[in-house]
Amino acid sequence: MKKIFALLFGALFVFPLSSSVFAQSDRWIINRDGDSVEMRKQYDYDPANRYRGNIDNSGDIRLRNYDGDRLKGNIDSDGYGKLHDDYGNTYRVRPR
């Protein structure tokens, strides 16, 4: 009986910690310099894995990487928004 409680406690304790670790690995960073925008994963410094593009005054944004993959969407003046890629994936944007 003690082994079952120990296993349940271990599973309940380890799972939330491991899920938060994996959630941190997909964090994206957006750098803005005037009208040009660059988006990359937080710890990925390879220039081939970055999205680059422009943002309009209305907040419409279009980004493209070296492989030809595209992201498009809208970011409001507060820094919140959503971007969509060609495969149907959605990326939420929020300020830090």
H-run or E-run covering 51 = strand 51-55
pLDDT in tens, 14-31: 555 454 444 445 688 888
pLDDT in tens, 48-93: 889 999 988 888 999 999 989 999 999 888 888 899 999 999 988 8
Give the start-to-end residue ranges of the domains of the chain: 27-93
Q: Name the DSSP class of 65.
A: -
Q: pTM for the whole thing?
A: 0.65
